[in-house]
Amino acid sequence: MAATERIPPALLHDEPMARHTTWRVGGPADLFCRPGSLAELQDFLAGLPDGVPIWFVGLGSNLLVRDGGLRGAVVMTGRALNDVRRLADELVEAGAGVPCTALARRLVRWGLGPAEFLAGIPGTLGGALRMNAGAFGGETWDHVVSVDVIDRGGRVSTRDRGEYQAAYREVSAPEHEWFVAARLRFSAGHGDAAGRMQALLAERQQRQPLGQPSCGSVFRNPPSDHAARLIEAAGLKGLRIGAAEVSPKHANFIINTGGATAADIESLIWTVRDRVRERFGVSLEPEVRIIGEPGTGETAQ
């Protein structure tokens, strides 16, 4: 890809995505930008040649980057889009790069809620907006009033909640727009939420393999059931391919036990899906985004 004079000098080339994903796998990105401000992000996008693929990444959770890496430009949002401010008693504005756990703590401190569910989402607000992430019975888009988006030309605009259709782990959104901020409404009078949040986090710590590299939940829950229950009932806890393993602690987590490749993890994902389908007739749908090019000798599904 030809460079242009508007690309920031701090831009990294061929940056290994294994450094920026919670699974600790992933090949190199052609271009890697961590802007320091919204203005720098606008400049970067405006300076990219037409047709260059653009990938927005938050904390690198819920993401599997294949071993061949990513063609195009990766933008990591956390440095630039991390402000949280209270606009009114029950209205908050937050940047897309804010970790959901940090947002949950701020809202709980302000006595706003129900917000403790955000503490169970292992990513940023931008990612939560993109997929309507949820935990503990709460979902992100239940609280959205409006969003700010940026297009590939670096232009920022505001869209109302009514312009989007949100469903379970899915949001309809224009292909070449990315979330940069959101206005969120929560109700006041939730001063007792801190205790509930701590209890939920303790439950999460007990049930999930949080100390090991994973992406969070791998599969969406099918209607009226749970992916983890089906995977465990199929006898797949502890199943390994290479150094990738179905967590013995929580069946809907795949962990990198040390030295796994993205190919190991992806192969295990499809093996689990196929075995659950063979056993129960249910086709589990991945919640994790799988992107990028296969490594040498590999074929993507």
Whether 61 sits among the annotated catalytic residues: the reply is no
Q: What CA–CA distance (Å, rounded) separates 150 from 43?
A: 11
Cβ neighbourhood burial of 145 (10 Å; 0-12, 13-18, 19+) = middle
Q: Is 224 exposed, middle or buried (0-12, 13-18, 19+ CB in 10 A)?
A: exposed
How distant, in Å, are the alpha carbons of 84, 114, 175, 220 from that of 125? 11, 16, 18, 19
Identify the three-state secondary structure at position 71: strand
Q: Catalytic annotation on 266?
A: no
| Residues 65 and 263: beta-carbon distance below 8 Å | no
Active-site residue identified among 105, 152, 196, 217: 217
DSSP string, 202-241: HHHHHHS-TTS---S--BPPPTTS-HHHHHHHTT-TT-EE
- Residues in a beta bridge with 150: 156, 178
Catalytic residue selected from 71, 161, 169, 275: 169
Q: CA 103, 105, 109 angle in degrees (round to 5)?
A: 115
Point out the catalytic residue in the list 15, 245, 266, 287: 287
Instruction: Find out whether 236 and 245 touch, Cβ atoms under 8 Å.
Output: no
Judge whether 298 counts as a catalytic residue.
no
Please list the active-site residues: 169, 217, 287
